[in-house]
Structure 1
Amino acid sequence: MPHYVVLQVILKEKLFGTGSGNLTAVEKAINDQAAKGYRLHTITTASSGSKGLGGGDRIQATMVFESLR
């Protein structure tokens, strides 16, 4: 089992209102890794600043998970 796992999730900013439209993707990634014996060690975000036809900005979340075993 690797000591660290790195995952990236793309968050799509909502067109109307505030906050991300798919935070459940981040929650799922964290819970999936926790079930495998990892804990979230670090999370960073970067914004692309570009808006597509569907609306808001794209935010990339990079998460580093550390093995608890």
Structure 2
Amino acid sequence: MPQYVVLQVILKEKLLGTGSGNLTSLEKSINDQAAKGYRLHTITTSSSGSKGLGGGDRIQATMVFESLT
């Protein structure tokens, strides 16, 4: 088992209102790694700031998970 795992999740802001339209994918990624014996060590985000036809910014979340064993 690797000591560390790095994952990236792309979050898309909703066109209307605030908050991410797919926080469940971020939550699922964290829970999947926890089930494999990893804990979230670090998370960083960056925003593209570009709005397309579908609206909303794209935010990239990069997560580093550390093995608990």
TM-score bracket for the superposition, by shorter chain length: over 0.9
**2:49 corresponds to 1:59:** no
Quote the Cα distance in structure 2 between the aligned partners of 1:53 and 1:8: 24
Unaligned runs of 5+ in 1: none
Matched, 1:39 2:21: no
1:1-69 matched pairs, under 5 angstroms: 1-69=1-69
Q: 2:53, 2:39 → 1: CA distance?
A: 36
SS in 2 for 1:17: coil
TM-aligned CA deviation for residue 18 of structure 1:
0.3
**TM-score normalized by structure 2?**
0.99
- % of aligned pairs identical? 90
Alpha-carbon distance in 2 for matches of 1:52, 1:9: 19
